[in-house]
Amino acid sequence: MKHTINELEDIAAQVRRDIVRMVHACQSGHPGGSLGCADFFTALYFEVMNHNTDFKMDGKGEDLFFLSNGHISPVFYSVLARSGYFDVSELATFRKLNSRLQGHPTTHEGLPGIRIASGSLGQGMSVAIGAAQAKKLNNDHSIVYSLHGDGELQEGQNWEAIMYAPFNKVDNLISTVDYNGQQIDGPTEKVLSLENLQAKFEAFGWQVINSDGNDMDSTVKALHYAKSLTGKGKPILNLMSTQMGYGVDFMMGSHKWHGVAPNNEQLATALAQLTSTHKDY
Amino acid sequence: MKKYTYTEKKDTRSGFGAGLLEAGQKNPEVVALCADLVGSLKMDAFIKEFPERFFQIGIAEANMIGIAAGLTIGGKIPFTGTFANFSTGRVYDQIRQSVAYSDKNVKICASHAGLTLGEDGATHQILEDIGLMKMLPGMTVINTCDYNQTKAATIAIAEHHGPVYLRFGRPVIPVFTDPDQKFEIGKAWMVNEGTDVTIIATGHMVWKAIEAGEKLAELGIDAEIINIHTIKPLDEEAILKSVKKTGCVVTCEEHNKYGGLGESVARLLSTELPAPQEFVAVNDSFGESGTPDQLMTKYGLDSVNIVEAAQKVIKRAKK
């Protein structure tokens, strides 16, 4: 372990502070899913991935990460900055004019750490598969990670990709689904149920593991376990249960904070629940 | 009128297949993807020589575009192949976000463009693809006119960094361009120098423009014929230089009159050098089943239509 679980939890707490402050500062953005995935991103970038903060687009010889549900950009930006891709002070520019931190991630502004634009949903798994297959052609044994929303799986392109990856033995891919059960119009169970997601992925030929994405120990262990399953002929799916808004009590477990910014009072309440461990930007 | 002859007829898609093989031989980073149309896209030779560099995606074009975008990240130069309709309209948002906006070095190669796909009918005959692709910032749009030009263009786009839409077709047509040509992206080809009217043609319409030029010569009209193979970026200098001399222009394309080459030329002329223009293009309609020749006649894309348009535009210019 590069860090103890406690150290990782401290980083995640700071990331959560960044998220609510960023979204508050521009009065827009998506705090719910960002907060829910703060532990996952922290585990990935500070513990699990072998990556280089001296950013090169081709990422040869290092693990790569692709965010498919691009609206949770606040957590992505915070973790990229906190792990050293760019200065944390730049987080203050999120969603503002002339910023590299666009509402949804883009390569267009040259922000280090971003390898593909995302936001229009359902495209990230295909891209991750392509990057994984390029690694195989390059004889590069590092791993490609991706993250997807659960509601996002309603987009049909995912199922093209889900069918393709096992058939083509893309076994250097670890995809995670943020299984929070919420989407803009309400619980996924009511909008368009995903039914038995594990059985669906297994039927397509994936190796499926489960984790609790708001328990740092479970998150780290699951990702390490997933890594141990690579190279065995199957892509790996980490079905990661989270709570939208995790860490801020009034945002938790509801779709209502999917894309709403806190006001001044709500910000103060949220920050009171999140310890500043690595100094605010 | 300069004399153009041909000894054989071939399809432009076979030019793509030959170009893809040569591009693959020249550069080990070139890879190919196909959505269940290997035979139609003439990819067999590439697949035979480089099986490990070919990705059969199945009937899943959106996934193909995304995988191609991902492959570029590892330094690959992916060429995707399917029909023009499934290369563009079906996957517009995937191209927009994962390729164009992300500035990925993907070559979207589209066969069976336009009416000349023939009997399959309007579901497969896209006439809007040039418009869709040229509206995307950073996208290079190329429509080639014969086997040799298509082969040369395929090799050239492998050496160009950035997203490219390469449009070609199904029918067997005269091979009349130089087999050893060097294809320069964005550089017009002067087919015939003339003084009375500028005829600008792309794709399958170039040979028809040559036929029209011969008929016009018999009528005493000296037509300048320019092949714009690269619709974006447009060779503005070549067009302006010609229209300055002739004072009028006919644009010819196997595409809807909305959004195609003609509108690109009109935009240029209206801002730089207003001049009468006639459009030989499909008049805002879908296609239908029929042989390629029948369809080109029915939809007004024959050499006789170019002749009529030239006569009309010259009259307008003289008013």
| CA–CA distance, A99 with A113 (Å, rounded to integer) | 15
Whether residue B304 is contained in a domain is answered as yes
Q: What is the dihedral of CA A66, A68, A70, A73, to 10 degrees?
A: -40
Q: Are A140 and A90 in contact (CB under 8 A)?
A: no
Which residue in the set A115, A134, A157 is minimally distant from B63, CB to CB?
A: A157
Interface predicted TM-score (ipTM): 0.97
Average pLDDT, chain A: 97
One domain for residues B65 and B159: yes
**If you write DSSP's letter for every residue of chain A in order, what string do you get?**
--S-HHHHHHHHHHHHHHHHHHHHHHT-S-HHHHHHTHHHHHHIIIII----SS--TT-TTS-EEEESSGGGHHHHHHHHHHTTSS-GGGGGGTTSTT-SS-SS--TTTT-TT--S---STT-HHHHHHHHHHHHHHTT----EEEEEESGGGGSHHHHHHHHHHHHTT-TTEEEEEEE--EETTEEHHHHS----HHHHHHHHT-EEEEEETT-HHHHHHHHHHHHHHTTSSS-EEEEEE--TTTTSGGGTT-GGGSS----HHHHHHHHHTS--SS---
pLDDT tens profile B76-110? 999 999 999 999 999 999 999 999 999 999 999 99
Query: What percentage of chain B carries pLDDT values higher than 70?
Result: 100
Q: How many residues does chain A have?
A: 281
One domain for residues B249 and B111: no
One domain for residues B202 and B261: yes
Q: Are A136 and B67 in contact (CB under 8 A)?
A: no
| pLDDT for residue B41 | 98
One domain for residues B66 and B34: yes
Average pLDDT over residues B293-310: 98
| pLDDT for residue A241 | 98
**Chain A residues touching residue B73 (CB < 8 angstroms):** 57-59, 64, 115-116, 127, 130-131, 134
For residue A87, the enclosing domain spans 5-272
| pLDDT for residue B83 | 98
Question: Domain total for chain A?
Answer: 1
| pLDDT for residue B35 | 98
- Tell me if B101 and A137 make a contact (CB, 8 A cut-off): no
- Tell me if B31 and A120 make a contact (CB, 8 A cut-off): no
**Chain B residues touching residue A126 (CB < 8 angstroms):** 62-67, 69-70, 94, 98
Closest to B132 measured CA to CA, from B255, B234, B286: B255
pLDDT tens profile A30-76? 999 999 999 999 999 999 999 999 999 999 999 999 999 999 999 99
Residue written as tokens 């693809």? B129
- Tell me if B66 and A115 make a contact (CB, 8 A cut-off): no
| pLDDT for residue A254 | 84
* Residue B319 confidence (pLDDT) above 90: no
Which residues lie closer than 8 Å to A201 by C-beta, 6 or more apart?
A: A162, A208, A237, A239
| pLDDT for residue B47 | 98
One domain for residues B134 and B102: yes
CATH number assigned to the domain comprising residue A91: 3.40.50.970
Q: Determine the residue of chain A that is closest to B52 in CA distance.
A: A137
Whether residue B180 is contained in a domain is answered as no
pLDDT tens profile B102-157? 999 999 999 999 999 999 999 999 999 999 999 999 999 999 999 999 999 999 99
- Tell me if A138 and B74 make a contact (CB, 8 A cut-off): yes
Q: Which two tokens stand for residue A164?
A: 């393709």
* Residue B233 confidence (pLDDT) above 90: yes
One domain for residues B43 and B166: yes
Average pLDDT over residues A217-221: 98
Which residue in the set A124, A134, A168 is minimally distant from B74, CB to CB?
A: A134
Whether residue A277 is contained in a domain is answered as no
Whether residue A67 is contained in a domain is answered as yes
Residue written as tokens 């309400």? A186
- Tell me if B102 and A126 make a contact (CB, 8 A cut-off): no
Whether residue B298 is contained in a domain is answered as yes
**If you write DSSP's letter for every residue of B35-71 in order, what string do you get?**
SS-HHHHT-HHHHHH-GGGEEE--S-HHHHHHHHHHH
CATH number assigned to the domain comprising residue B41: 3.40.50.970
Whether residue A48 is contained in a domain is answered as yes
Whether residue A280 is contained in a domain is answered as no
Domain boundary residue, one of B174, B205, B230: B174
**Chain A residues touching residue B70 (CB < 8 angstroms):** 66, 116, 126-134
**Chain B residues touching residue A67 (CB < 8 angstroms):** none
One domain for residues B45 and B143: yes
One domain for residues B29 and B93: yes
For residue B57, the enclosing domain spans 9-174
Whether residue A266 is contained in a domain is answered as yes
CATH number assigned to the domain comprising residue B294: 3.40.50.920
Of B8, B49, B61, B159, the active-site residue reads: B61
One domain for residues B197 and B279: yes
* Residue A110 confidence (pLDDT) above 90: yes
Average pLDDT over residues A248-262: 93
pLDDT tens profile A8-40? 999 999 999 999 999 999 999 999 999 999 999
**Chain A residues touching residue B36 (CB < 8 angstroms):** none
* Residue A203 confidence (pLDDT) above 90: yes
Whether residue A278 is contained in a domain is answered as no
One domain for residues B170 and B194: no
Query: Per CB distance under 8 Å, which residues of B are interface residues toward A?
Result: 31, 52-53, 55, 57-58, 60, 62-76, 78, 93-94, 96-98, 101-104
Distance of CA A54 to the CA centre of its chain: 20
Whether residue A65 is contained in a domain is answered as yes
Domain boundary residue, one of B142, B174, B206: B174
| CA–CA distance, B94 with B227 (Å, rounded to integer) | 30
pLDDT tens profile A138-188? 999 999 999 999 999 999 999 999 999 999 999 999 999 999 999 999 999
* Residue A123 confidence (pLDDT) above 90: yes
| pLDDT for residue A148 | 98
Whether residue B84 is contained in a domain is answered as yes
* pTM of the predicted structure, to 2 decimals: 0.97
| CA–CA distance, B292 with B298 (Å, rounded to integer) | 10
| pLDDT for residue B66 | 98
| pLDDT for residue A253 | 82
Question: Domain total for chain B?
Answer: 2
**Known catalytic residue at B61:** yes
Q: How far away is chain A from the Cα of B294, in angstroms, using its nearest Cα?
A: 38
One domain for residues B133 and B196: no
Whether residue A281 is contained in a domain is answered as no
One domain for residues B256 and B108: no
**Mutate which of A69, A160, A169 to disrupt the B interface (most B C-beta within 10 Å)?**
A160
- Tell me if A131 and B74 make a contact (CB, 8 A cut-off): yes
Whether residue B181 is contained in a domain is answered as no
Domain boundary residue, one of B174, B198, B223: B174
